[in-house]
Chains A and B, each alone.
Chain A
């Protein structure tokens, strides 16, 4: 096996990044993973790469599916340089990155770059959405996993998709009283996807077993219901939910209020594309994930030596991400001359087949869970849309009334998206507003800026 003196840098040590690194290592190619977290593993599946004692999860299935990846990683650790608690804050020319460890900036050169920065959760503004006690699903799951801290005593879950029953089970097992689970889409819509779901029979069975677990334990699961508002003085005290029609418009005449001390919200994900944007890669609008980089069949972006794998290029979850990481790894190995064309094509094809199965299954759920714009009616005039700049819905409305048709003009007129988070939170809502108003084609993109995360002035000293 040849050892490489070319630098392969992987940003993001979730399923895609680890899979790419492990695959490269197995082929004898060294790489460096940069991740902002204290441990590898990514967000939703944080934890699978350390061997921990039994936790009361119901995600044994996922743990198992990660087992081979885990072994591959552990067997090749010596060829993987892992740099944790380090953030990429921007590009440095066309062959480097600027990284920050919170103390100083450093430059990292690459010959090949794999971006696997994953996704973050889509924020859905509704009255009360910024109250303490309201959490995103990933956050809820992290909290259960990381130290068995209960997110709350009595909790409602509102959202859509396969995470809902999973987290409901985890919470119940962890001793949380689950007031109810509210899935925005109707059951009949799910039934239509039965064929797609059979692409992953084990996952589907697992899902069914979760549903029967919930039933056995009297956790109510409501299809076609969703969030209306949250209320409370200093933290959440109650949730109001209502039936959703097929546009996800809440029928307020049938709204119901329940006392809870926390609410889990999960209406989908948005690709994390700050770095891909700053690298000036070509992007395209994706209704599901906001803007995503354009890729070729080997996951190569519009710049020749940059690859994108995992949820950064569209949300598929960790199994899909792992296959994508592999494909990128094989392609780099070919270009480095480590494998020949026929090995490349057979290994890539095998990974693609796996990826396709994930997609067939996943797309079924995506169709079921496709976000509907009726939710845009949830916030009232005073609901804050941009948390950083404290911009209310009425201010966004006023800008639309004045004829704003693009995200840059909206930003300049209202300051929405100009805060510390650079629009990570509010841009998803704003894009949906443009889509609703019919301006989606030319609304433009809220551009990421250096530094992706704040850095101190002192870090800019020489």
Chain B
């Protein structure tokens, strides 16, 4: 096997598959998509939430961090100490634009993939409700709202009665909810499957179960991607290696980008009748009922290298958080638990685009908690970059620049 391609994409998770799909739409490029399902690949452990605002303000996966804080506050209060100040973990405006642009693409993408390629990735309009139990939660929600005044038309407040009407199974202890009306969900496996199948139907060569083992360079130019099944020559390679991107980048450029695995554990219920209308985030966990009835509860945020083991204490935390919000779950079964490795960056912003001084290399990685959500806009941007077009969004804040990560604190999660 020694083939020549215009573009070789290393990594067939949500981002790599989206790149393959967007690049192949005009069917004018020779493209290869190389994928190997390593244990813990993040696409497999995704909830499939399209929580553009939720994730940008630190809900969804981010709530675990908040939970730790709110526990500290309660402890401090109990001890008569001054409570530490709460800060919602809000990402910069350009990330909101990035995430919301991607989010806006999904209804049309859903149509397109269904009509042209006959795969339905189960886009569902759900909203994301931040369910509040006490004044701490409310104060936190208020801070979120005050941080995003320009999005106030996407935020809708529910009091206890309204919440109960919308979500009858939510605990009577809940005092209300803040609902992000534009945050929805998809089936993550089917989304990746539909990008991949769409790409295949558009002529992309799929190298599945094929491991990237190196990158061939000539001077400062990437000329091929080595795999365990041979070398694929290319004009451009795209590094969509998820939590493994750093190694691939080093092979290609000699430089290590700061993308590292961030473990998230997940609890999944048996299939249940519909008990939720929308997706929910609390200060304990997020909860999403998928199209097949399973209720998915996530997720921890742990830096444990490439370890993907499940730990009872963390799983209990998630299960208890879910039962607290939806007491009906107590009688229901947990079917499986697992863990995925998000490709984290210190500033929680993906790394996109070329690297200084290197030809034929493009980053499409570091999507941390939002790979599914941001896959669509990433695919679009990468397609524009490869074709030398002007990009839809300003690429500058996403480019790799060592300075981007210089003054950042060590991770806030442990």
Contact = CB atoms under 8 A, between A and B. Distances in A.
Contacts, number: 95
B330 A456 contact: yes
Given A98-B312, A402-B197, A405-B209, A413 B320 contact: no
B189 A450 contact: no
Contacts of A419: 335
Interface residues of B, number: 36
A444 interface: yes
Given A457-B322, A461-B320, A422 B208 contact: no
Interface residues of A, number: 35
B333 A461 contact: no
Contact of A457 (B43, B200, B319): B319
Interface string A382-407: 00000000000000000000111110
A311 B329 CA distance: 37
Contact of A450 (B193, B315, B331, B333): B315
A457 B193 contact: no
B331 to A, nearest CB: 6
A150 interface: no
A142 B35 CA distance: 46
A90 B310 contact: yes
A460 B316 contact: yes
A420 B292 CA distance: 13
B44 interface: yes
B333 A455 contact: yes
A460 B285 CA distance: 15
A402 to B, nearest CB: 6
Interface string A196-226: 0000000000000000000000000000000
Contacts of A442: 209
Contact of A406 (B209, B322, B333): B209
Contacts of B158: none
B312 A457 contact: no
Contacts of A3: none
Contacts of B332: 456-457
Interface string A434-462: 00000100111001011100111110111
A462 B319 CA distance: 11
A415 interface: yes
Contacts of A451: 334, 336-337
B280 to A, nearest CB: 15
Contact of A403 (B206, B312, B315): B206
Interface of B: 35, 37, 39, 43-44, 189, 192-193, 196-197, 200, 206, 208-209, 269-270, 292, 309-310, 312, 315-316, 319-320, 322-323, 329-338
21 contacts: A90-B310, A98-B312, A105-B312, A403-B208, A406-B209, A408-B37, A409-B37, A412-B192, A418-B336, A419-B335, A449-B310, A449-B337, A449-B338, A450-B310, A450-B336, A451-B334, A451-B336, A455-B333, A456-B331, A456-B333, A458-B330
